[in-house]
Amino acid sequence: MTEAGQQPLPIPPPHPPEVDVSTRRRLSFLWLLPLVAALIAGWLGWRWLEERGPQIVITFQSGDGLEAGRTRIKHKNVELGVIESVRLSDDLSQVVATARMDRTATRHLKDGTRFWVVAPRLGLGGVSGLSTVVSGTYVEMEPGGGDDRREFDALDEPPVIRADVPGRSFNLKTEQLGSLAQGSPVYFRGVQVGEVMGYSLSPQDRMVSVSIFVRAPYEGLVHEGSRFWRSSGIQISAGADGFKFQTESLKTLALGGVVLETPPDPQAGGPAKDWASFTLYEDQATAAAARDRLRVRYRLEFAGSVQGLQAGAPVLMRGLTVGHVSAVRLEYDEARQELHIPVEIDIEPDLVARTYAVIDGKPMDEPAVRTLIAVQVEKGMRGRLASGNLLTGQKLVSFDYEPGHPPTAPGTERSELPTVASSDIDSITRSAGAVLDKVAALPLDGLVADLRGTLQSVTGVAGSPDLARSLAALAKALGSADVLMRDTGRQLPELVKSLRGVATAAQGTLNSANGLLGGGGGQADLSGVLRQLNDAARSFRVLADYLERHPEALLRGKTP
């Protein structure tokens, strides 16, 4: 109870209730954002490291076109890596490039993997790398096999054949490289079937080794009996069998080429193995002569000079080739104090077709060939020198049956064959010169008898069928040498002058002989013969005059 006039005391408020507050701190969602970002960054880094691939070292001979961070490594125009750094080697002789490859290229970095710089290249074989003019220089990678590898030596030049091209490689041996180069074509019957991959010189045998590649499906054309020879694009040869002109493609003219030839079965043998070695011959004739075929050698000796006869000249039997001349040399016989010029020839029976069946199914052997030749010699077969080409003066050996010659006893072991005098123009000229010499030197009585015998010999030679064949061969040679005769036309005046001089000398000699012998009444036949020789000299003069006015008659003949 309060006193009157006093304020009542305030009543204290009741005690507030206690609240249970937790002291643990809660994680805010804002802190999850950096954590998620860190996880994403780590995952991206791990993926980057996983896809980054290994680091390799490539050694180049030059740093042309290489730029750190910009030069790409590609395969089939797909990027597989990039050059990270470029530096010189310790001896400053090479350029060492460090490259980072993609993970996809890791399993292809093997011992057989090759690298080279792709840049614009201009060569005789063509133009390559033109795409790099816009995209820039890059390094091409060609996967290979073998063990894993991380250091490589780059190629100086792009390979001619890529590793993924099907085919087979072979090796050719030759003494001279000639015009062959990397990329030179390999032909089979005019179709390109491969290329030359490269070449090297062996210090041991000093032979040049040429590596060639024959593409599929043509690699089956190469057999054990195949032959290869060099083709320079244009081949011009003048031999006893006339002029030959051969040409290949324009690419062959620039780079040369190799020709492949495989004989028919069974001469071809089995298919050749990879990297099988063959001989590279100079030309087709040399390759054909090197074939393994039977050759029977004979020896001949000709009276007089054999000028114009060389090794390799054909041996003909009635105009068809049956062999070749193997050697022509000069021998001295000390016992007789004489000089001999033996001519060795090889008869090839494979060039002679037989119309009868072989009983045992085998080709002719050497005894059978010698028996065949001996029988033909007994029938009158003789050898003589003949003109193969009038323009070049080349000679050949020709066999034919000569009437009037005594038969020879057959002998299967005979290595020497009988010969007769040549019937070409040179022999006729020598016979005419001998006639004129004997006219001036011999006494009158001996002159008449010897002159008649000599003239009969000349008449027999002129009527010989070999002369007609020689003239036919002459016409053929002149027809094939039309272009060459245009150049020789400048020398025609000297030739005509020489013919005119010969005709004048012959005319004077015959006039002297006619005046000397014409007074005898018992020598009417001789006077007639001398008149014929006089007419012949006059014909030479007319021929010289006509050729001087119409030199084209040597090629086209006499026109109205």
The pLDDT of residue 426 is above 70 = no
- Closest alpha carbon to 220 in 197, 259, 194: 194
**How far apart are the C-alpha atoms of 56 and 165, rounded to whole Å?**
26
**How far apart are the C-alpha atoms of 210 and 187, rounded to whole Å?**
15
Share of the chain above pLDDT 70, in %: 59
Angle in degrees, CA 248, 254, 255, rounded to 5? 90
The pLDDT of residue 331 is above 80 = yes
- Higher-pLDDT residue of 467 and 365 is 365
Q: Name the phi and psi angles at 427, rounded to 5.
A: -65, -40
Whether 181 and 256 have beta carbons less than 8 Å apart is answered as yes
The pLDDT of residue 517 is above 50 = no
Q: Name the phi and psi angles at 517, rounded to 5.
A: -105, -10
- Higher-pLDDT residue of 213 and 432 is 213
Q: What's the confidence (pLDDT) of residue 392?
A: 73
Crossing angle (nearest 10°) for helices 425-441 and 444-462:
170
Mean pLDDT of 402-412: 60
Whether 439 and 513 have beta carbons less than 8 Å apart is answered as yes
Q: What's the confidence (pLDDT) of residue 483?
A: 47
Confidence of residue 407 (pLDDT cuts 50, 70, 90): low
CA distances from 80 to 130, 241, 300, 366, 491 (A): 21, 62, 74, 68, 71
505 alpha-carbon distance from chain centroid:
51
Mean pLDDT of 197-214: 88
Confidence of residue 295 (pLDDT cuts 50, 70, 90): confident
* Distance from the first to the final alpha carbon of the chain: 181
**How far apart are the C-alpha atoms of 428 and 417, rounded to whole Å?**
23
Share of the chain above pLDDT 90, in %: 16
- Closest alpha carbon to 170 in 191, 142, 199: 199
Confidence of residue 416 (pLDDT cuts 50, 70, 90): confident
Report the range out of 74-78, 352-356, 400-404, 547-551 with the highest average pLDDT. Answer: 74-78
**How far apart are the C-alpha atoms of 160 and 359, rounded to whole Å?**
52
Lowest mean pLDDT among 107-111, 349-353, 483-487, 506-510: 483-487
Whole-prediction pTM value? Answer: 0.49
The pLDDT of residue 351 is above 80 = no
Lowest mean pLDDT among 74-78, 125-129, 401-405: 125-129
**Helix, strand, or coil (residue 315):** strand
For CA atoms 475, 480, 484, 489, the dihedral sign is: positive
The pLDDT of residue 232 is above 70 = no
- Closest alpha carbon to 345 in 285, 385, 392, 393: 385
Q: What's the confidence (pLDDT) of residue 494?
A: 60
- Higher-pLDDT residue of 406 and 289 is 289
Tokens of 518: 């014409």
Helices (H), 219-365: 250-255, 284-289
User: Is the bond preceding 263 in cis, omega lying within 30 degrees of 0?
Assistant: no
